[in-house]
Amino acid sequence: MRDWFNRRGWRDLIIATPYAWLIVFFLIPFLIVVVMSLAIMKSASPPFGFHEAFPWIDLGNFARLFQDTLYIRAFVSSLINALIATLLCLLIGYPMALGITRVSKSWRNILLMLVILPFWTSFLLRVYAWIGMMGSNSWFNKLLTSIYNFAVPSEWALKSIPMMNTSFAVVLVMVYSYLPFMILPLYANLEKLDTTLNEAAMDLGSRPWQVFRDITLPLSIPGIIAGGLLVFIPATGELIIPSLVGSSANPMIGRVIADEFNSARDWPMASAVAVALLFLMVLPMVFYNHYEAKAQNAGGKP
Amino acid sequence: MAATDTGAAAAPFVRIEGVTKTFGTFRAVDDVSLDIAKGELFSLLGGSGCGKTTLLRMLAGFEQPTLGRIFIDGQDMTSLPPYERPVNMMFQSYALFPHMSVEQNVGYGLKHEDLTPAQRSARVKEMLELVKLSELAGRKPHQLSGGQRQRVALARALSKQPKLLLLDEPLGALDKKLREHTQFELMNIQDRTGITFIVVTHDQEEAMTLSSRIAVMDRGVIRQVGTPNEIYEFPSNRFVADFIGSINQFEGEVIRTGGGMTDVSCPVLSGTVKAATDATPERGSKVTVAVRPEKITITRKAPSGGVNVVRGTVRDLGYFGKDSLYRVKLESGHLVLVNSVNTRRSDEGGRVAQWEDEVWLSFEPSSAILLTD
């Protein structure tokens, strides 16, 4: 027995640890949420229960997801905000990541430090700083207002741009918060690319922008997908940013879950929304894994 | 001595004029001038860090010379970017595009040429046939062997029909058997296409077999330019003599010149050496007499009436089958390498000499190379 443990036990234990972690802290809670989403609201503690007759479960919560436009609107606005934020992160993050790979080693470390530097300050504090910046009396708002007034005809002129409590504010703060999650995987991908490939393309007659289009961009797709998922998934379920700077008339899905759970005390409905959100998020992951597997089989590195 | 620059006689196709490249305070290439004729297979030979790759990268346009000019086919290329030069390069790592098939790799450079799709695919087909890879057109680079990748890289570099093809250690990543085969294939392709090749290599054997001419480089400077034969038999300085093959060097002092013969007194040989030379070094000047191991004759009996004869003892013996290498200790204590072909079939007792045998070494005056620097 002791010998057996020494031979196989440690290895199995090490392999089992992350699985045990996932089962205890992800799979079981998730199953509880799934079960809860099939229950009905009851004035008990906890505030839910099941029908007394067969089949006990209730699919009414999932039906409500499609009947009540509140949920559909929340899903749509979450997806649109997250998508815009992801695209903006990509547009801003790609040149930054590429730039970091093109400077000397010592500068690289400094720039990467600067990318993760914001994490050293409390996230909430940084969101509150943005609230201050977007207020109608802030220098930031005044600057944007004067640029806007300069660019448009005088009859459209504004005293200040209404930024707070809009989707613009939500996207702006999300881009700011999630940008490092785009830059880091992109950097890791771009840094591995062999620069002699760029020289070879240039040698064969490609100008720098053609080299980027034909070589760098296609070879960085894994990095783009990884960064995109890292931004898109948390941005879709984001709760704090829309709560603090978004409009309450047009809530995002995270806010809806929180409201159902806390104010309405409708745990089954909150669970149903959460389950739907999870499936919405799992789909792109499945797509990504499929793409990765295909790339491993067909293309990949020499 | 036949050190005439045959490249310069014809109109130079590639002209490198006083090119210097510095990185910070390091002079990677130091005032190099070189003329290369059309259709030549020219090698830049040297150890690592001698500047040969930097020179090649300046020809391709990846580096700008700090000083000097580069002309190709009469046009000043010095400041043209790589994508505007009629030059293609085969990279040491091959640099094949991993996300493209063999066909797409070879056809990549043709996208920028004024060709119809039909002409383009015809050219790709022709290139793949040239390197015998037609049946692998749809493969991705990671599905190919090293030798196949090398051929894809060659086909890609040739696809645009460049005026000049640069090859950076073209055989460096191949195993020995494949190298020999590929070497001849490369010469064959060069012959058929008529494109001027410039090859960078650290492998002297490769340079000797491949090239019509070789430039030996050392620390950013060209030490000698010549045909393989000139470089081997008529090295112009100690560095080249020592770098190419093996050679025995004896320090000495000139005591008499004239009549195409120079007498050098060599203390290590305990006597005077006669060397046949065109040059007439000044009497009393310090020189080095260099003799290749295979130019020395080894005998058990004293050769009758010869010049350049010296006595020694066999210290070491290496038997290679077709030839044997002897290390002979002279009376002065100096060790001399002698290479002798085993012309007669015999057992060990029949060999010219054995360990600790007393032997006589001799060489012709015409085999002695006189080096002054």
- Quote the CA–CA distance of B48 and B54 in Å, as a whole number: 11
Least confident of A169-178, B247-256, B336-345: B336-345
Q: Is the pLDDT of residue A301 over 70?
A: no
Q: Is the pLDDT of residue A299 over 50?
A: no
Residue B114 sits at the chain A interface (C-beta within 8 Å): no
Taking residue A12's Cβ as centre, other Cβ atoms within 10 Å add up to 11
Please state, for a pLDDT cut of 90, what percent of chain B lies above it. 52
| Residue closest to B337 by CA, chosen among B329, B345, B327 | B327
The arithmetic mean of pLDDT across residues A29-34, rounded, is: 92
**Token pair for residue B273?**
């050496």
Least confident of A115-124, A152-161, B76-85: A152-161
What average pLDDT is seen over chain B?
Answer: 88
The arithmetic mean of pLDDT across residues A70-94, rounded, is: 93
pLDDT score of A190? 95
Output A220-225 pairs: Cβ under 8 A, ≥24 positions apart: A220/A94, A220/A186, A220/A189, A220/A190, A220/A193, A222/A189, A222/A292, A222/A295, A223/A97, A223/A185, A223/A186, A223/A187, A223/A188, A223/A189, A223/A190, A224/A90, A224/A94, A224/A186, A224/A189, A225/A288, A225/A291
Sheet containing strand B323-330, edge to edge, reads B297-299, B358-362, B309-319, B323-330, B335-341
Decide: helix, strand or coil at residue A269.
helix
Q: Mind listing the pLDDT tens digit for each residue in B194-220?
A: 899 999 999 888 899 889 999 999 999
Residues 206-235 of B with CB under 8 A from A: none
The arithmetic mean of pLDDT across residues B276-295, rounded, is: 86
- Which strand (E) or helix (H) includes residue A278? helix A267-298
Q: Is the pLDDT of residue A135 over 90?
A: no
Please state, for a pLDDT cut of 70, what percent of chain A lies above it. 95
Tell me B281's DSSP state. Answer: P
Domain that holds residue A145: 68-265
CB–CB of B82 and A199 under 8 A?
yes
Cα dist from A109 to A11, A114, A119, A192, B79, whole Å: 36, 9, 16, 16, 33
Q: Is the pLDDT of residue A224 over 60?
A: yes
Q: Mind listing the pLDDT tens digit for each residue in A164-216?
A: 888 899 999 999 999 999 999 999 999 999 999 999 999 999 999 999 999 99
Class of residue A122 by CB neighbours under 10 A (exposed 0-12, middle 13-18, buried 19+): exposed
- Quote the CA–CA distance of B279 and B369 in Å, as a whole number: 11
User: In degrees, to the nearest 5, what angle opens at C-alpha B183 toward C-alphas B177 and B189?
Assistant: 140
Rg (alpha carbons) of chain A, rounded to whole number: 24
In DSSP notation, B334-369 reads: -EEEEEEE--S---GGGSS--TT-EEEEE--GGGPE
Please identify which residue in the block is written with the tokens 């098939």. Answer: B101
Domain-embedded: residue A174:
yes
Q: Is the pLDDT of residue A4 over 70?
A: no
Residue of A nearest to B143 (CA): A302
Give the bridge partners for B289, in sequence order.
B250, B370
Beta strand pairing call for B248-258 and B323-330: unpaired
Q: Which residue has the higher pLDDT, B127 or A296?
A: B127
The CATH class, in words, for B246-371 is: mainly beta
Decide: helix, strand or coil at residue A282.
helix
What ipTM was reported for this prediction?
0.82
Helix axes A123-134 and A167-192, enclosed angle (nearest 10): 130
In chain B, which residue ranges form alpha helices assigned H by DSSP?
A: 6-9, 52-60, 102-107, 117-130, 146-158, 176-193, 204-210, 228-233, 238-243
In DSSP notation, A148-178 reads: HHHHS-GGG--SS---TTSHHHHHHHHHHHH
**If pLDDT is split at 50, 70 and 90, which confidence band does A28 have?**
very high
Q: Is the pLDDT of residue A294 over 90?
A: no
Residue B87 sits at the chain A interface (C-beta within 8 Å): yes
- Which strand (E) or helix (H) includes residue A87? helix A69-101
What average pLDDT is seen over chain A?
Answer: 88
Q: Is the pLDDT of residue A31 over 90?
A: yes
CB–CB of A196 and B93 under 8 A?
yes
Class of residue B264 by CB neighbours under 10 A (exposed 0-12, middle 13-18, buried 19+): buried
Q: How many CB contacts within 8 angstroms connect chain A with chain B?
A: 73
User: In degrees, to the nearest 5, what angle opens at C-alpha A197 toward C-alphas A194 and A201?
Assistant: 160
The arithmetic mean of pLDDT across residues A238-247, rounded, is: 88
Answer yes or no: are the C-beta atoms of B219 and B50 closer than 8 Å. yes
Domain ranges of chain B: 6-242, 246-371
Does the CA dihedral B342-B343-B346-B352 come out positive or negative? Answer: negative
In a mutagenesis test of the A interface, which of B53, B57, B83, B90 is the best target, namely the one with the most A β-carbons within 10 Å? B83
Domain-embedded: residue A51:
no
CB–CB of A218 and B82 under 8 A?
no
pLDDT score of A298? 54
pLDDT score of B349? 56
Domain-embedded: residue A301:
no
Q: Strand (E) positions, B238-364?
A: 248-258, 261-266, 271-276, 286-291, 297-299, 309-319, 323-330, 335-341, 358-362
pLDDT score of B10? 52
Does the CA dihedral B93-B97-B100-B102 come out positive or negative? Answer: negative
Residue B112 sits at the chain A interface (C-beta within 8 Å): yes
- Quote the CA–CA distance of B373 and B371 in Å, as a whole number: 6
What residues contact residue A35 under an 8 Å CB cut-off, 6+ apart?
Answer: none
Decide: helix, strand or coil at residue B223.
strand
Domain-embedded: residue A36:
no
pLDDT score of B332? 87
Instruction: Write out chain B residues lying below 8 Å of A202, CB-based.
Output: 62, 81-83
Decide: helix, strand or coil at residue B107.
helix
- Quote the CA–CA distance of A33 and A274 in Å, as a whole number: 8
What's the CATH number where A207 sits? 1.10.3720.10
Tell me A237's DSSP state. Answer: T
Domain-embedded: residue A2:
no
Give the bridge partners for B297, in sequence order.
B362
Instruction: Give the number of domains in chain A.
Output: 1
Instruction: Write out chain B residues lying below 8 Å of A207, CB-based.
Output: 83
- Quote the CA–CA distance of A201 and A211 in Å, as a whole number: 6
pLDDT score of A84? 95
pLDDT score of A302? 37
Interface residues of chain A, partner chain B, Cβ below 8 Å = 194, 196-197, 199-207, 210, 214-215, 218-219, 298-302
- Quote the CA–CA distance of B15 and B32 in Å, as a whole number: 10
The CATH classification number of B6-242 equals 3.40.50.300
The arithmetic mean of pLDDT across residues B330-352, rounded, is: 80
Class of residue B216 by CB neighbours under 10 A (exposed 0-12, middle 13-18, buried 19+): buried
- Quote the CA–CA distance of B213 and B10 in Å, as a whole number: 14
The arithmetic mean of pLDDT across residues B95-114, rounded, is: 93
Domain-embedded: residue A40:
no
Residues 53-72 of B with CB under 8 A from A: 60-62
Q: Which of A132-141, A188-197, A253-262 has the highest mean predicted lDDT (pLDDT)?
A: A188-197
Give the bridge partners for B42, in sequence order.
B198, B213
Q: Mind listing the pLDDT tens digit for each residue in B108-144?
A: 999 888 889 999 999 999 999 988 899 999 999 999 9
| Residue closest to B35 by CA, chosen among B55, B21, B16, B61 | B16
Does the CA dihedral A79-A84-A90-A92 come out positive or negative? Answer: negative
Q: Strand (E) positions, B6-95?
A: 14-23, 26-36, 41-45, 67-72, 75-76, 87-90
The arithmetic mean of pLDDT across residues B167-182, rounded, is: 84
Cα dist from A115 to A77, A87, A182, A192, whole Å: 28, 18, 10, 19
- Quote the CA–CA distance of B352 and B344 in Å, as a whole number: 10
Class of residue B319 by CB neighbours under 10 A (exposed 0-12, middle 13-18, buried 19+): exposed
Domain-embedded: residue A29:
no
| Residue closest to B127 by CA, chosen among B106, B145, B149 | B106
Find the CB nearest A205 among B95, B97, B112: B112
